[in-house]
Amino acid sequence: MNRFGHLVVGGFVSGLFLLLNAFLFRIAFSLIDYLLLLGVWFVYSQLPDIDQKGSHIHGLVLVALVFLGAYSFIWKSVLLGSLCIIGILFLTLVHHRTIVHTVVFGVLLSSFLGYFSLWLSVLGFVLYLSHLIADGELTIWQW
């Protein structure tokens, strides 16, 4: 499936998430929450394709890592700079539809959203899974 298809599927999943919240959980969302939801929808519905060299999300993540790396150099943050270097190396060395197209990797990447809130983390994981299911590549782990 292409980027547009994954965004449509992710938009449908995000809409269902909002409907479930409105009728079952009734969590009050602020404007910032909705903006974060849009960002999570855009990134996590495409995120399993970061290992595909020509994909849109691959380029966005590489640019973000380069800018964060430059930022870490300016502010002398060794940890952030090291993580950026590891991320860039990972993106250049990993092959398409290997470790990134697994449920375990989706859990790992969506757990970072737990820093903001649990519901964003759950939504990120569900969007990641929707991408894997749409691709027909739902596997727990592979290298």
Q: What is the pLDDT of residues 55-74, one digit of tens each?
A: 999 999 999 999 999 999 88
The whole-model pTM stands at 0.87
Q: pLDDT tens across 37-55, in order?
A: 999 999 999 999 998 988 9
Say what percent of the chain tops pLDDT 90. 63
Strands (E), 25-115: none
Q: pLDDT tens across 76-120, in order?
A: 889 999 999 999 999 999 988 889 999 999 999 999 999 888 889
117: which DSSP letter? -
CA distance 34 to 123: 12
Two tokens, residue 35: 């903006």
CA distances from 35 to 38, 42, 75, 85 (A): 5, 11, 28, 29
What's the distance, CA 116 to chain centroid?
14
- How much is the mean pLDDT over the chain? 91
Position 64: which residue type? A
pLDDT bracket for residue 34 (50, 70, 90): confident
Torsional sign, CA 28, 31, 34, 36: negative
What is the pLDDT, as a whole number, of residue 46? 95
